[in-house]
Amino acid sequence: MQELIPRSSPETSIPTIAVLGAGAAGLMAAIHAAGPARRVVLLERTTDGGRKILISGGGRCNVLPGTLDEARFVTASSPNIMRKILRSWPLREQRQFFEQTVGLPLVLEPETGKLFPVANRARVVRDALVALARQRGVEWIGATEIVGLESTARRWQLTAVDGREFTADAVIITTGGLSVPATGSDGFGLRRLAELGHTVHDTYPALTPITLDPPAYADLAGVSLDVVLTATMPGAHRTTSGGFLFTHHGYSGPAVLDVSDIAVRSRLAGGEPARLRVQWTSLDATAWTERLAPSAQTVVSALRPPLPGRLADRLLTMASVDGATALAQLTRAARLRLIELLVRFPLPWTGDEGYRKAEVTGGGVALDEVDPRTLESRLHRRLFLAGELLDAFGPIGGYNFVWAWSTGRLAGLGAAATLTRETRDEGRET
Ligand SMILES: Cc1cc2nc3c(=O)[nH]c(=O)nc-3n(C[C@H](O)[C@H](O)[C@H](O)COP(=O)(O)OP(=O)(O)OC[C@H]3O[C@@H](n4cnc5c(N)ncnc54)[C@H](O)[C@@H]3O)c2cc1C
C-alpha cells in the first residue's frame, strides 16, 4: 500500500486530518484545521481546486450577503440545527475574517446588497484562500480523485481512482453536491455517506433556470426587469422579488432561480406542477387601477415605462387591448383583463435546466446526523462533514458561501479539537 499521508505513530505522534475536496468548504476547513501539532492534507480531484468559486457571481464571486435572513435557507432537516450551525460564525465575523485575516477587502453593491471583492474578480478569492491554507502549513495533493473511504481500526483509509491509498486520523468530507459537475463535484460524498449509513434527504437541482417547451416567449429573450414572483405547490409557497430574465428556453434571473426548487420539487413529485405567478412591476392591482384610470393618455404609454416595450406589447396582445386606445375609451372588462395579467400573470413552464446549470444541490445529509458544535458524524467517529453535501441551501446573494464558509470552519475546528483532545487523553492513559 502506497501511503502518501504517513501513518501517525506513537513515535511521530503527529495526528493527520485529511480534507476531501478543495472547494469553498474544504479550503475553509483546512485553514481552520491547521495547527502546529497536526498535519492537514487537502485531497482534491482537480489540479487547482475552488473551481466553483472561480465561476461564482458571474466571475466576480459574491463572497457574502450584506445582511443575512436565516429564514430564507431551505432544509428538509431540523431548522433549529441549521440555525445553530449558521450562528456559529456571525456574518460580521465572516466579513472581518475575509478582510483582515485573508486580506481581501470587500465592497457592498448597493443595488443588490451583495458583497464582492474590491478587485471584482473571483480568482482573487480562490487564490487568497489557497495561499492562506499553504501559509498555515496545509499540504496539497491535487489531481487526485478519491473513490474509496473506509474506516480501519480507528483510522480512515482513502483510495484514489489510480489505486494510491492514504490514511488519516480524521477526515473532513467537503466534496459538494451534484451541481455543475464540470467543476469537480459529482456527488461522491453523498453516495459514500449513504453507504456508510447516513440519511441523505432527496437531492434536487436548486437555483436553476426554468424552461418552457415549446418556448412561447423566445421572442422576448433578453428582456429583463424586476418582478415579484410567487411559486406554490402543496406544502410549499414562496414569494421573491428581484431580477427576471426571458431566455431562449424559458426564464432566469435571481427571482426565478430563488423559486426554482419549488418547480423542480413539484416536477420530481410527479403531481400537479407548481404554479408560478408574476407581478411584472412593483405596482399592485390598486396602483395599476389608479394608473389606468380614464384619461386622454393611451394605454401603451401608461404601461411603458415601467414595463419594457416588448413585454408591454405582448401583454396588450394577450389582453386583446389596442395600445393606441385612450384610457378614457378602455372598457372596464379590458382594464380588469390587463390588470390581472400585470399583477397575477400565470407563468407557463415545463421543465428546468437541472444540475447542469444549478448553482446548488437541494437536500443532502440529514443535519441531525452531525453534531452541530463540530459537524462530526453521529454515526462515525472522526468523520466530519461540511458544505453543500449537507442538507441546506440558501437563495442567490452570497448565502451559499455563508453556508460553505461556516460549515467548513466548524468542521475544521471540530476535527482539530477532537484530535487534540483524544491525543491528550491517550497520552494520559499510556
Ligand atoms: C455558476 C455558479 C455561481 C455561483 N455563485 C455563487 C455566489 O456568487 N455566491 C454564493 O454564495 N454562492 C454561489 N454559488 C454556490 C457556491 O459556489 C456553492 O454553494 C459552494 O461552492 C459549495 O461549496 P462546497 O465546497 O461545498 O462544494 P464545491 O465547491 O462543489 O467543492 C467540492 C470540491 O470537492 C472536489 N471533489 C469532489 N469529489 C471529489 C472526489 N471524489 N475526490 C476528490 N475531490 C473531490 C471537487 O473537485 C471540488 O473542488 C454558485 C454556484 C455556481 C454553480
User: Does residue 21 sit within a domain?
Assistant: yes
Structure confidence at residue 348 as a pLDDT band (50, 70, 90): very high
pLDDT in the model for residue 5:
53
pLDDT at 11 over 70: no
User: Looking at the predicted structure, is the pLDDT value of residue 37 above 90?
Assistant: no
54 CA to centre of ligand 1 in angstroms: 9
User: What CATH number should be reported for the domain holding residue 343?
Assistant: 1.10.8.50
pLDDT digits (tens, 9 = 90+) for 84-98: 999 999 999 999 999
Q: Whose CA is nearest to atom 10 of ligand 1?
A: 398
Q: What is the pTM of this model?
A: 0.95
* Domain end marker among 292, 327, 352: 352
Mean pLDDT (the chain, rounded): 95
Tell me what pLDDT residue 351 has. Answer: 97
What is the model's pLDDT at position 430? 55
What confidence tier does 429 reach under pLDDT thresholds 50, 70, 90? low
Pocket test for ligand 1, best of 46, 129, 185 (most atoms within 8 A of CB): 185
Final residue before a domain boundary, out of 286, 321, 352:
352
One-letter-per-residue 3-state SS of the chain: CCECCCCCCCCCCCCEEEEECCCHHHHHHHHHHCCCCCEEEEECCCCCCCHHHHHHHHHCCCCEECCCCHHHCECCCCHHHHHHHHHCCCHHHHHHHHHHHCCCCEEEECCCCEEEECCCCHHHHHHHHHHHHHHCCCEEECCCCEEEEEEECCEEEEEECCCCEEEECEEEECCCCCCCHHHCCCCHHHHHHHHCCCCEEEEEEECCCEECCCCCCHHHCCCEEEEEEEEEECCEEEEEEEEEEECCCEEECHHHHHHHHHHHHHHHHCCCCCEEEEECCCCCHHHHHHHCCCCCCEHHHHHCCCCCHHHHHHHHHHCCCCCCCEHHHCCHHHHHHHHHHHHCEECCCCEECHHHHCCEEEEEECHHHECCCCCEECCCCCEEECHHHECCECCCCCHHHHHHHHHHHHHHHHHHHHHHHHHHHHHHHC
20 and 169: one domain? yes
Question: What tens digit of pLDDT does each residue of 112-145 get?
Answer: 999 999 999 999 999 999 999 999 999 999 999 9
How many angstroms separate the Cα of 322 from the Cα of each of 279, 304, 317? 21, 14, 7
Question: What residues line ligand 1, using a CB cutoff of 6 Å?
Answer: 20-26, 43-46, 49, 51-52, 55-57, 61-62, 145-146, 174-176, 179-180, 183-185, 188, 359-360, 387-388, 398-401, 404
Per the domain annotation, does 284 fall within a domain? yes
Top mutation candidate among 46, 85, 359 for ligand 1, by most atoms within 8 Å of CB: 359
* 9 located within any domain: no
pLDDT in tens, 41-86: 999 999 999 999 999 999 999 999 999 999 999 999 999 999 999 9
| Residue 343 counted as domain residue | yes
Quick one: 29 and 167 in the same domain?
yes
151 vs 270: CA distance, rounded Å: 39
Number of structural domains, the chain? Answer: 2
Is the same domain home to 164 and 296?
no
CA–CA separation, 220 and 284 (whole Å): 23
Q: Distance, CA 389 to ligand 1 centroid (Å)?
A: 10
Q: Which residues contact 116 (CB under 8 A, 6 or more apart)?
A: 57, 60, 61, 62, 63, 106, 107, 109
Res 7 pLDDT > 50:
no
Ligand 1 centroid distance, CA of 277 (Å): 31
Q: Is residue 364 part of a domain?
A: yes
Q: Look at residue 283 in the predicted model and tell me its pLDDT.
A: 97
CA of 185 to the centre of ligand 1 (A): 7
Quick one: which atom of ligand 1 is closest to the CA of 394? 11
Give the angle subtended at the CA of 55 by the CAs of 215 and 120, to the nearest 5°: 115
Entry field: residues in the chain: 430
Residues 301 and 374 placed together within one structural domain of the fold: no
268 and 374 belong to one structural domain? no
Q: Which of 326-342 are b and which e, b meaning 16 or more Cβ less than 10 Å from the residue's Cβ? A: ebeebeeebbebbbebb
If asked whether residues 335 and 282 sit together in one domain, one would say: yes
229 and 244 both lie in a single domain: yes
CA of residue 409 to ligand 1 center, whole Å: 15
**What's residue 21's pLDDT?**
98
Which residue, by CA, sits nearest to atom 47 of ligand 1? 184
Which residue lies with its CA nearest to atom 23 of ligand 1? 24
- Same domain, yes or no, for 33 and 59? yes
pLDDT band at 154 (very low <50, low <70, confident <90, very high): confident
Closest alpha carbon to 121 in 198, 62, 186, 188 = 62
pLDDT of residue 210: 98
Choosing from 324, 352, 380, the residue where a domain stops is: 352
Domain that holds residue 104: 16-205+360-429
- The answer to whether residue 251 is domain-embedded is yes
Task: Looking at the structure, tell me whether residues 161 and 222 fall in a common domain.
Answer: no
- As a whole number of angstroms, the distance between CA 382 and CA 415 comes to 7
Q: Same domain for 55 and 178?
A: yes
pLDDT value at 311 more than 60? yes
Tell the residue nearest (CA) to atom 35 of ligand 1. 21
Q: What is the pLDDT of residue 422?
A: 87
Mean pLDDT, residues 358-384 taken together: 98
**Do 228 and 309 reside in the same domain of the chain?**
yes
Position 185 pLDDT exceeds 50? yes
Q: Per-residue pLDDT for 4 more than 80?
A: no
Residues 149, 275, single domain; the answer is: no
Assess if residue 52 is contained within a domain: yes
Kindly give the distance from the C-alpha atom of residue 114 to the centroid of ligand 1, in angstroms, as a whole number: 19
Kindly give the number of the ligand 1 atom that is closest to the alpha carbon of 62: 8
**Cis amide linkage into residue 306, ω under 30° from 0:** yes
Give the CATH number for residue 375. 3.50.50.60
Distance 25 CA to ligand 1 centre (A): 8
The answer to whether residue 194 sits within a structural domain is: yes
